[in-house]
Structure 1
Amino acid sequence: MATRKTTEVDYSMQEKIIALYELQKIDSRIDDINKVKGELPLEVQDLEDELAGLKTRVANVNAEIDELNTLTKQRKREVDQAKIQIANYKEQQNNVRNNREFESISKEIEYQELEIELAEKRLKEYAAGVKAKKAQLEEADTVIGERTKDLEMKRSELESIEAETASQVEELETRARQAQERIDERLLKAYERIRTSVRNGLAVVTVKRDACGGCFNRIPPQRQAEIRQGKKIIVCEYCGRILVAEPEADVE
């Protein structure tokens, strides 16, 4: 989320710590808005991925059907050619001069008949394959229709939430950028690293009732005094969050 400042200003450490705390409050507000969306973004993405997979499957099945149809035409041509050959051989048998020629032609006829038998067997297999794959297409089309309706509904719901919160998020992001401008690159990266490593996204917490506001472990009095002085970045030795003093009056 970080964007760097275009002009360098020498902010004091206390100003940087205050900016960090402001940034954390802003990011937490944005997190709360995103929670309203719940699992909708993931659900929309999952449905989009599933639909893409189904459409790829449909394309593959159609390609397989085309291949089977091509093979069917090829086998039918082979059957027709074999029948022509058989007719020619039978005509030749009428003009043979001896038994050897007759037997030779008979073997050729037998071979062509076997070719026809094999081709017709393949044709039946291709027909069964096409029928099975068309059933797969019908099933996939049904699922695609259902998933498309689900996607449209969830996408509409998500877009509605985003439309309602767009101006608020835009304002918060502007404030976040302003806070980021008072934080140096190294410190901002550390903040972002902590935010992504903790479950609730709280990288900066206050000391409340002598304890860390993130993990609730006790902070020694001397450590609390150093935190209030704001002269350096102090992190909780238990959870690694950045610790700041409880402000007298938080301004949202």
Structure 2
Amino acid sequence: MTSEGISFEEAAAPEGLRLYAIGDIHGRFDLMAEMHARIMDEIRRDRSEDWRIIYLGDYIDRGGQEAQVLDFLAQITSEEPRVQALAGNHDQGLLEFLSGNSLDNLFVNNGGETTAASYGVALSADAPREEMQRTRQALLEAMPQSHIAFMRALPLSFTYGDYFFCHAGVRPGVPLEAQDRHDLLWIRQEFLRHQGLFGKVIIHGHTPVRRADVCPNRVNLDTGAWRSGLLTAMMLEGKRKRLLEVALS
């Protein structure tokens, strides 16, 4: 511990609590289901006193199994409060599209066609506004309300012990409790290039890397699952840290 913050090496989870953080899913239900099952097997095997499984956001777009991902997460988070999910920028993009306020946004131009297709709806980024409105209405009607309610309720961050969990990262120099919503969902270079310690170790996704990026001040668990077929998670218990990987074609 220093006056500036705490390093990954020294960081610890709260006593008696095992934490799992899982990187960006992006519609890969196959990978998510395998990872979740593996984690639950560990929890049962080790008879963990208490635990949390934290999904770091971006559940949709590009992978092709988005409806299955949201169905699983909406159900399990309602039944088991120890399974928690954060908002990602792609998730917020879908909500913006469904609201009708932004019909030419991240969702439309960055993978939303696979999300729509998973609900049986065709989406084209080149469609005129009138057709896009019809697509929006069709998607609203096709998506279960439980999926939409789940996404609307997603928080932006969690804090446990010496760890701060969010989707994209934080702005250096701003207290963690005062971070801006846009930064928590979108920030990249200002955060990734920062060499100093934060108040806590930041566990995040958002920026795809070939393998988990473990730094003194942050851990990036987004290994581009939708394209690479590799989903990465990290277990945190006391001062122990361990990476988990699920790889499928």
Q: TM-score range by the shorter chain?
A: under 0.3
When the two structures are superposed, what TM-score results if normalisation uses the length of structure 2? Answer: 0.24
- Greater RCO structure (CA 8 Å; 6+ sep): 1
When the two structures are superposed, what TM-score results if normalisation uses the length of structure 1? Answer: 0.24
| Between structures 1 and 2, the one with greater helix share | 1
State which structure, 1 or 2, has the greater radius of gyration over its C-alpha atoms: 1
| Between structures 1 and 2, the one with greater strand share | 2
